[in-house]
Amino acid sequence: MPRGPKGERRPADVIGAAIMVAKIATGEVEDRPSPAPKRAKGGKARARALSPAQRSDIAREAATARWKKRD
């Protein structure tokens, strides 16, 4: 099921969306706000955990590896 702009689950088809709106309007279903954002995962969390010097070293190694492939 697709997610809306704030991460909420919404029906993918037009008829399903219309039914959902009608149920919300009649009070059959409660339209709850999306939960709080989750913690950062992956690269963002890793970047926050590393010191600036460590990030610089990693970036330097990556650039060297990229340029080495071109030779």
Q: Find tokens 């992956």 and name the residue.
A: 42
- Give per-residue pLDDT as tens, 5-51: 666 666 778 888 888 888 888 988 877 766 667 777 888 888 889 99
Query: According to the model, what pLDDT value does residue 65 have?
Result: 92
- Give per-residue pLDDT as tens, 48-70: 899 999 999 999 999 999 998 77
Say how far apart CA 17 and CA 42 lie, in whole Å: 33
Query: According to the model, what pLDDT value does residue 14 have?
Result: 86
Query: According to the model, what pLDDT value does residue 53 have?
Result: 95
Hey, where are the domains in the chain?
A: 1-38, 40-71
Whole-model pTM: value is: 0.40
Q: Which of 26, 40, 31, 28 is nearest to 8 (CA)?
A: 31
